[in-house]
Amino acid sequence: MTSQLPTDLQQLDAQDTLRHKRDEFSVPEDIVYLDGNSLGCLPKAVPARLAQVAQQEWGEHLIRSWTRNAEAAQDWMGLPDRVAAKLARLIGANANEVAVGDSTSVNTFKALAAAMSMAGERRVLLTDTENFPTDLYMAQGLNKLLGDTWELRSCLNTEIMEHLTPDVGALLFTEVDYRTGRKLDMKGLTARARELGILTVWDLAHSAGAFPVDLNGCGADFAVGCGYKYLNGGPGAPAFLFVAERHHDAAPVFLSGWMGHADPFEMARAYAPAAGARRYVVGTPQVLSLSALDEALNVFSDVDMHALRRKSLSLTDTFIRLMEPLTGQYPLTLVTPLNHEERGSQVSYRHPDAQQVMKKLIERGIVGDFRTPDILRFGFTPLYHRHADVERAVLGVRAVLEGQP
């Protein structure tokens, strides 16, 4: 296949205001990496930061690093709060509304436990029928802990508004569908939920770092997200939890760990919550992984998130356009919305033999991923992708579908 729009692609890359950001990542040139929505590429500054933490902070200063250089913001104790402040800008929150640590699953449990305890007499939790499994598992496990006193009601994420009824106490939805890339109207849904007195828990796993998120502007109550996808914090990077400031006094802390205490080293026998969202930090900060995430987030320090969103849409628009002829020749069905307001930063297609197609794509150096039962998923990370990468990806897809060796 010859590129249909080589001049246009060259112009788009030449006009890209974020093109210099690619140089801040270790992006393999021998592949087209379209799986940053599962694991982001390595920021080049991270290895040196990890070496410093391991060799100097741990190797030389040992336990003193927990509080050493607190004035210079280089102490380990303050690391979760410093990372929270960097994250807050990307998700439309105040720094004191974000807690960093643990996994997305654990933070989902924290948020759900708080929201469900605040729901009064209502006992319905509304979620997406096809939500990411860990969200569903956390809800199921928490309900068992509560004696199965809640109804876990689900609906398609295209039909949420009609299911926001007065008996619903809380809702749990992922803003961007991990399979299809469909982006929900978080602002509109949250506004309607608030009118009905329903507490909202949003999963931002495929949102944070991919486009502007405005939790406070939307009036969200709780949110969770991970650090290793579009935030590029590395495999198993710590996750985050958002709790709106208006709920800090009312939202219970059920996983009340010592690092969430107002004065951890007082070693008091009764829990007293720290100020702000820090109270939701459970155990000892994961210094190595937190340091990697802290350094990775510096890549965003000068990024206009609206410019990032424009590039994301341009990349995905181009991919969809170049893939269109293939959808007419092969059993490929686009499942990602064409409407920009309803699209995240990935493009997905259904194919009856999707698993084998993706396996062959990866063998050719086009690294996307497969999601059951029949989804080909291609993630686009505006910080390091070019429109030239889009063309290479489509050429690879065509070659696989044509059965080229």
**327: annotated binding-site residue?**
no
What is the amino acid identity at position 167? D
> Would residue 203 show up in a list of annotated catalytic residues for this protein?
yes
Would you say 125 and 151 are in contact if contact means Cβ atoms under 8 Å apart? Answer: yes
**134: annotated binding-site residue?**
yes
**133: annotated binding-site residue?**
yes
**242: annotated binding-site residue?**
no
> Would residue 349 show up in a list of annotated catalytic residues for this protein?
no
**258: annotated binding-site residue?**
yes
In whole angstroms, give the CA distance from residue 276 to residue 51. Answer: 32
* Phi, psi dihedrals of residue 386, rounded to the nearest 5°: -115, 160
In whole angstroms, give the CA distance from residue 242 to residue 220. Answer: 9
Residue with tokens 């009905």: 196
Residue 391 DSSP SS3 = helix
> Would residue 228 show up in a list of annotated catalytic residues for this protein?
yes
Cα 48 to chain centroid distance, Å, stands at 25
The b-or-e profile of 220-241 (16+ CB within 10 A means b, else e) is bbbbbbbbbbbbbbbeebbbbb
Q: Which of 102, 128, 203, 389 is catalytic?
A: 203
**174: annotated binding-site residue?**
yes
Q: Which of 110, 360, 377, 386 is catalytic?
A: 377
Residue with tokens 């849409």: 313
> Would residue 229 show up in a list of annotated catalytic residues for this protein?
yes
Beta strands in 156-292 (DSSP E): 168-174, 199-203, 222-225, 240-243
What is the amino acid identity at position 240? F
Angle at 86 between CA 84 and CA 92, to 5 degrees: 85
**105: annotated binding-site residue?**
yes
> Would residue 178 show up in a list of annotated catalytic residues for this protein?
no
- Kind of pairing between the strands at 366-367 and 240-243: unpaired
Sheet (strand 346-350) strand order: 333-334, 346-350, 375-379, 369-371
Exposed, middle or buried, 180 (CB in 10 Å: 0-12/13-18/19+)? buried
Q: Which of 109, 211, 222, 228 is catalytic?
A: 228
**158: annotated binding-site residue?**
no
**336: annotated binding-site residue?**
no
**381: annotated binding-site residue?**
no
Please report, to the nearest 10 degrees, the dihedral formed by the alpha carbons of residues 155, 185, 199, 151 taken in order. 0
Q: Which of 25, 109, 132, 319 is catalytic?
A: 132
Known binding-site residue numbers: 104-105, 132-135, 174, 203, 206, 228, 258, 284
Catalytic residue numbers read 132, 203, 228-229, 377
Known binding-site residue numbers for pyridoxal 5'-phosphate: 104-105, 132-135, 174, 203, 206, 228, 258, 284
